[in-house]
Amino acid sequence: MIRNQQIAVLTIRLLLGFIVFFQGFGKVFTFGLDNVYKNFFQASYSELLPDFLLLFTSYYTSLVELIGGFLLIIGFKRDYTLYVLASVLVIVTIGHGLKNPIWDLSHVMYRAILLISLLLLPKSLDIFSIDNYYINYKSKK
């Protein structure tokens, strides 16, 4: 039973990690950060929010998704990564809510469920990670 729980936590972490990693990868390397800012953030929200905030959030969310996704995949600094990714989900929720009061929740809901699940499940179940390897290595010294 415990092995199933460990595999479940690994699966959740990998799913969320790959989802946000590829989201960030597409923004950073496929579209380019300037294009994300101009074509998505500025084009959609320039009448609602100041330009400096749009620029910051476009870069922040894109880079956090890329880096945070990678960190989740390898299981490094998991909890801190989840906290920062939670901030991205809040920003995305606010942005979509400002633009469209009734919007497609698929932009946030699946990622939020996975993220909250990881925060609620015991970290001790997340054994297939660099964090766990480091804890075990440190305790053997």
Q: Are 58 and 40 in contact (CB under 8 A)?
A: yes
Interatomic CA distance for residues 78 and 86, integer angstroms: 12
What is the predicted pLDDT for the residue at 117?
A: 98
Q: Are 6 and 125 in contact (CB under 8 A)?
A: yes
Complete DSSP assignment for 41-86: IIHHHTTTS-HHHHHHHHHHHHHHHHHHHHHHHHTSSHHHHHHHHH
What is the predicted pLDDT for the residue at 102?
A: 77
| Per-run averaged pLDDT (10 residues), the chain, 141 residues | 96 98 97 95 91 96 98 98 98 88 83 98 96 80 65
Residue 98, both tokens: 């400002």
What is the predicted pLDDT for the residue at 89?
A: 97
What is the predicted pLDDT for the residue at 141?
A: 65
